[in-house]
Amino acid sequence: MIRSGHALPIALLLCSLDAAALQIVDARDGETVFARISQKELTRIGFERGRIRRVTGNAGEFLMEKDEERGHVFVRPAPGITKPVNLFVSSDRGTVALLLQPVDAPGDTIVIRESRAATARSERAGRHVRSIKHLMLAMANDLIPDEVEVRESQRAFTLRAGLRLDLERQFMATDTVGEKFRLVNTGATTVEISPTDLYRSGVVAVGVEKGTLQGGQATNVFLVRERRADE
């Protein structure tokens, strides 16, 4: 969703931007960058790679229309605004803060060039999260993902008094290890189980099938952790 201060008359959007100047600003997610904006004419803003998904700013300081087809926006300061206009512009990769100084100049185009290093990190992080989710789903459904080695196990651990964790199977992926446990309430009283009870250093995801166990009951627990170099 794109929010605007006021609607611009549609006729203003018919002005040609073909001969406009070009400002290229390099930015990373969360950074603030400076650019110029025409005081009286439209300035087009877009990302070099990707579409603008959302724009937010102080209502009443700017006028804006959007180009849904190209994923750009057209902006100019509201009448009487001469101080810098601050906009937060979001793409699929992150959000950049633009500090736009109104100047007495023709309208031009601002191209936001997101840092490739930051984009690469974001894409790697996205793949990592997807692989963790995929591994959790595979364990819950007794499936074996491609390129994952399965190791059977019969080790037992004590989670806390009256709770025993039986490690049944390990799923050895490239960077992570999925572990399927059987959690048994060996006591006589009902206990509450929270995923936070299973977190420790290196653990990135935990799933517990049943959050309440009566005496003698058991449930499945699925855990994904970072793989150690010696494994």
Range of the domain at 133: 128-226
Q: Are residues 26 and 110 in the same domain?
A: yes
Of 114, 147, 171, which one is at a domain's C-terminal end? 114
Domain boundary among 114, 136, 168: 114
Q: Are residues 156 and 102 in the same domain?
A: no
On whether both 132 and 84 belong to a single domain, the answer is no
Is the same domain home to 168 and 108? no
82 and 154 within one domain: no
Do 221 and 172 have their domain in common?
yes
Amino acid at 63: L
132 and 222 in a single domain? The answer is: yes
Quote the pLDDT of residue 13.
31
Domain boundary among 81, 114, 147: 114
Identify whether residues 77 and 55 lie together within a single domain: yes
Q: Is residue 132 part of a domain?
A: yes
27, 87: one domain: yes
Return the pLDDT at 21: 58
Is residue 3 in a domain? Answer: no
Cα dist from 158 to 11, 111, 163, 165, 209, whole Å: 72, 57, 6, 6, 18
Q: How many domains does the chain have?
A: 2
Whether 14 and 109 share a structural domain = yes
Q: Is residue 120 part of a domain?
A: no
Within-domain flag for 2: no
Question: For residue 87, is it within any domain?
Answer: yes
Instruction: Going residue by residue through the chain, which has 231 residues, state the pLDDT in tens, using 9 for 90 and above.
Output: 444 444 443 233 333 333 345 898 888 777 788 899 999 999 999 998 889 999 999 888 999 999 988 999 999 999 999 888 999 999 888 888 899 999 988 888 999 987 765 555 556 666 777 888 888 888 888 888 888 999 999 899 998 889 999 999 999 998 899 999 999 999 999 999 888 888 888 888 898 989 899 999 999 999 999 998 888
Residues 217 and 165 placed together within one structural domain of the fold:
yes
123 lies in some domain: no
pTM: 0.48
Q: What CATH number does residue 31 fall under? A: 2.60.40
My answer on whether 201 and 161 are in the same domain is yes
